Amino acid sequence: MSLDVVILAAGRGTRMYSSLPKVLHRIAGKPLLGHVIDTARQLAPRQLTVVYGFGGEAVLQEFAGQNDLAWALQAEQLGTGHALAQALPHVQGDTTLMLYGDVPLTRLTTLKALLAAVDGGKLGILTDVLDDATGYGRIVRNAEGRVTHIVEQKDATPEEAAIREMNTGILALPTAKLAGWLAELKNDNAQGEYYATDLIALAVRDGIEIATVHPQDHWEAEGVNNKLQLATLERIHQHNQAVALMKAGITLRDLSRFDLRGILTHGMDVSIDVNCVFEGEVTLGNNVQIGANCVLKNVMIADNAIIHPFCHLEDASVGAGSLIGPYARLRPGAELADGVHIGNFVEVKKASVGSGSKVNHLSYIGDATIGSGSNIGAGTITCNYDGVNKFRTVIGNDVFVGSNNCLVAPVTLGDGATTGAGSVISKDAPAGQLTVARAKQVTLANWQRPVKQDK
């Protein structure tokens, strides 16, 4: 069976009260439409088409470069049937699966079950039975229990409105029939729209069998119309991700206080304390511990490293057995070898730190190379910027930088160099020697403290 997928995403999303098109609002850092596209891709369709309209430019831009997608413009939102018709030039297989760009969490297995149910040219509807189906289209069945049609809430009689089986909106349709049926749709209904749901009655008339399938969970068919629904689905999605990670062996101290907005790859015996946020691609080795309240974006952390609480790491790598934080910031280009210690209130940017080196307190290390076994004293700053250009600081192996040094780049501290506390190092410090660059201490022998004068 060859499959085409059409995702309807032209709606305005008025109730989001946002200048952003609804389908670009994000769950776990990914646009709603991106979730639907990613799930649809896993069905390996012949063609995947998105019907877009409101905020079209922004939608196209967000997915620029994803060349497997076809785009169909619906300039005016005249209803779901009209939207589907815009995609007709792109559907040529046996079955067309219609999805909504604002229903992000449908399981792949559910869609597969729906497609399996329409094998042989049936029409499939993903329906669900709700305690309160207010607002949704209702599935109307005859005395034998066969589906006859769908009636929209606004067109329903009180008896029809009492039906609890609702239309999720997801349909699997026989492609060969679509063009003819869509041409027959009328908009003489309460909303003055061309309803995709009217395809069901046309199929029944033409003797096409109707199959219905339920999702495993209600949230699979829930859409986003406002910020509250967006937040609700975000929590459900985060819970699902947390459960999957825990089943794969990660220890989350509290699965309701964990946020993953990307991909987390991990080894064994990883533990993550509460309120951490993981973004982009994060890789954690074996025995890695992440303390509470950390944000990690695009980072690699090797085995046995410990990230203490309140750290912010972005585009950085941390070597095996390293200790980071609390309150450390690793900015893009921070590359730490094994056994490195980065302590509190230390910022590292575009700098490599060799194995076993320590920067433990209150420092800024930017545009620098530090060898192995070096110790950078508290309060040390690499002065990398003259207000116009940036320069590098090179620190060798086994260097001891005293507390509160200013290393004025470009500058090199040779292997085994020592610098005195409070030094402003503006020239290279030679290997193996002590360099001190600060005013000499003097004591004035006969100095008297001033005394209060009478007025």
Q: Which residues are catalytic?
A: 361
C-beta closer to ligand UD1: residue 79 or 174: 79
Q: Closest distance between ligand UD1 and the C-beta of residue 312, in Å?
A: 36
Which residues are at the interface with ligand UD1 (CB under 6 A)? 8-11, 51, 74, 77-80, 82-83, 100-102, 136-137, 150, 152, 166-169, 195-197, 223
Using the minimum distance from each CB to ligand UD1, give the nearer residue, 185 or 301.
185
For residue 91, give both structure tokens: 């559907």
For the chain, how many residues are written? Answer: 455
Rounded CA separation 405/243 (Å):
48
CA gap 155, 424 in Å, rounded: 80
Closest to ligand UD1 by CB, 125 vs 399, is 125
Cβ at position 247, least distance to ligand UD1 in Å:
31
The residue (of 95 and 197) whose beta carbon lies closer to ligand UD1 is: 197
Q: Give the nearest distance from C-beta 122 to ligand UD1 in angstroms.
A: 19
Closest to ligand UD1 by CB, 229 or 283: 229
Least distance to ligand UD1 from the beta carbon of 361, Å?
Answer: 53
Nearer to ligand UD1, 88 or 306 (CB): 88
Read off φ and ψ for residue 324, nearest 5 degrees: -125, 135
- What's the min distance (Å) between Cβ of 196 and ligand UD1? 4
- Sign of the dihedral through C-alpha 28, 29, 35, 38: negative
Nearest distance from C-beta of residue 73 to ligand UD1, angstroms: 11
What are the two backbone dihedrals, phi and then psi, of residue 381, each rounded to the nearest 5 degrees? -125, 130
Q: Among residues 156 and 282, whose Cβ is nearest to ligand UD1?
A: 156
